[in-house]
Amino acid sequence: MQQQPHLCSRQHRAQLSTSSSSSSSSSSSSSSSSSEGGGGGDRRQEAETGQGGRENKPPETTKQQQQQQQQQQQQQQQQQQQQQQQQQKQQQQKQQQQQQQQQQHHHQQNQMQQQKHQQQQQQQQHHQQQQQQQQQ
Give the 3-state secondary structure of residue 9: helix
Q: What is the DSSP string of 62-86?
A: HHHHHHHHHHHHHHHHHHHHHHHHH
Q: What predicted TM-score, i.e. pTM, was given to this entire model?
A: 0.23
Query: Per-residue pLDDT for the chain (136 aa), expressed as one digit of tens each?
Result: 444 545 545 555 555 444 444 434 444 444 444 444 444 444 444 555 554 454 555 566 677 787 788 777 777 777 777 777 777 777 777 777 777 766 665 555 565 566 666 666 666 666 666 666 666 5
CA distance 48 to 50: 6
